[in-house]
Structure 1
Amino acid sequence: MPAALILLSAVPVIAGAVRLNELIAGAAVTPENARFFAVPTPVVTHIFCVGVYSVLGAFQFASGFRRRRPGWHRAAGRLLIPCGLVAALTGLWMTLFYPRPAGDGDLLTGFRLVFGTAMVVSILLGLAAIRRRDVTGHRAWMIRGYAIALGAGTQVLTHLSWFLFFGAPGEFARALLMGAGWMINLAVAEWLIRRRPVRSPRTLTGHADDHRRSPGVMAREGRRTRLSS
């Protein structure tokens, strides 16, 4: 799962790196990037925090690694929580205060505000849950927050599918495709949260047999086993 999550976040991380290179190298100012050159701090902070949150957060889903190194899980969480909050808050700031780019309408702005706020709330609820030692609640809220953060990766897939069949999306279609990316991720997150762990057939059979057999039968079977050995 960590490899799949890193792959999903690869496109937005690469796009962020390209944007940083533009700002550092002093690329030509265009209508598309003028807002970033005018006030670079929010977008630079956003790109850095999203990259750390997406890549490092993927390893929190490696259950075997977490069990072997519980200290690493806690240490990484102390970095992921502020990175996730800063990523969401800078995203909200850019939505509210940067000039709106071409192709972004009121509906998409509303989606960004709703899901950005939901990411902040999810991370804070996850933090509150672990402080009261509610591990199940902590896991659920952190998965939801991470799912929202990876919306940019899924939005690449929703846009690509639309482009292959219908061409470039208009303002309304673009907003729906962006919203679909967040909703798909949240649907998968809820499935992960609510699914029950599968117990092995051997364990289930053993418990069922023990309940069906009486103590006397189990004692006789034990004596036969000792005599045969």
Structure 2
Amino acid sequence: MRSKKVILPVMYVLAYLLTFYVVIQYLIYKPSQAGMVSAKLQDASFPYAVWKLFFYPHILLGVAALLIGAYQLTNRSRRNPVLHKRLGRVYGIAILINVLVVPYIALYATGGTPSTIAFLVLDVFWLVTTVEGIRSIWSKKVLRHRQWMLRSYAITFVFVTFRIVLAAEQLLLPDMPFSLAFPIGVYVSIALNLAVTEWYLGQRRHHTGHSAKGVV
């Protein structure tokens, strides 16, 4: 499908760019040197030492899911069932652990309570889509598994989309407070990613239907 040939390379580029940024910003430098984190440190009650214990797993597991998920979507991955299965397990475990970490991170999200709620909503979407994908393959429903894991990766890719949407908000609406920009950015990213995913799945069903009609 032409759409896949366009979407996948774009996803790869964005995923690797974000990974490069995360490595530079949070592993080579300190999280405290990031603008949004340094702002949190202005609050004397912010538990930075404990927060880091949750933040690093969140970032590292998120990047792992982002990169593994991108590879899992390729035909090359499916041509190696053993590797596909092993990487799929790593992807699922990375997300399920991250789902447990996110609520604590969300408590200290930039933007206050509205942002906390938005990130918890994102966490629920992440959990539901991933669990449905896992349940489907356990039930040997391969097509359903692929559909739900694609939705799961759409939520994983919010890791990328959110930063693009937030940058666009800051550019177009520079006076918008973070208490609005952050939650709106999360909701828009979820909606956008899932909309593209459902469009792609619809295109695939349409293409498959036409191919089947052409078989004599």
> TM-score, with normalisation over the residues of structure 1?
0.74
Counterpart of 1:39 in 2: which secondary structure?
A: helix
Q: Hey, what's the Cα distance between the residues in 2 that align with 1:187 and 1:202?
A: 24
> Letter of the aligned partner of 1:188 in structure 2?
V
Question: Which of 6, 11, 28 is the matching residue for 1:5?
Answer: 11
Q: C-alpha distance in 2, partners of 1:199/1:126? A: 21
- Asked if the contact 2:166–2:185 (Cα under 8 Å) also holds between the matched residues in 1, the reply is yes
What is the CA–CA distance in structure 2 between the aligned matches of 1:110 and 1:16, rounded to whole Å?
24
Shift in alpha-carbon separation, 1:107–1:130, aligned structure 2, 3 A: same
Structure 1 residue corresponding to 2:189, chosen from 169, 181, 205: 181
Aligned residues: 201
Contact 2:62–2:95 (Cα < 8 Å) also in 1 = yes
Q: TM-score, normalised by structure 2?
A: 0.78
Residue segments in structure 2 that go unaligned for 5+ positions in a row = 1-6
Match of 1:58 in 2: 70
User: Residue 169 of structure 1: SS of its match in structure 2?
Assistant: coil
Indicate if the aligned counterparts of 2:51 and 2:105 stay in contact, CA closer than 8 A.
no
Matches of 1:11 and 1:163, distance apart in 2: 20
Equivalent position of 1:198 in the other structure: 207
Residue 205 of structure 1 and its aligned partner are, at CA, apart by 5.5
Task: Say if 1:205 and 1:10 are closer, same or farther in 2 by CA, change over 3 A.
Answer: closer
Shift of 1:151: 0.8
1:94 counterpart letter in structure 2: I
Larger Rg: 1
Once the two structures are superposed, residues 117-157 of structure 1 have per-residue CA deviations (whole angstroms, 9 ceiling, x without a partner) of 12112211211111110112211221112111111311222
Write out aligned runs for 1:6-155 (5 A).
6-17=12-23, 18-23=25-30, 30-32=38-40, 35-63=47-75, 65-96=76-107, 99-101=108-110, 104-155=111-162
Cα distance change of structure 1 residues 180 and 202 upon mapping to structure 2, 3 Å threshold: closer
* Superposition deviation, residue 163 in structure 1: 2.7
CA contact (8 A) 2:106 2:115 kept: no
Counterpart CA distance in 2 for 1:5 and 1:140 is: 17
Q: What RMSD in Å do the two structures reach over aligned CA positions?
A: 2.9
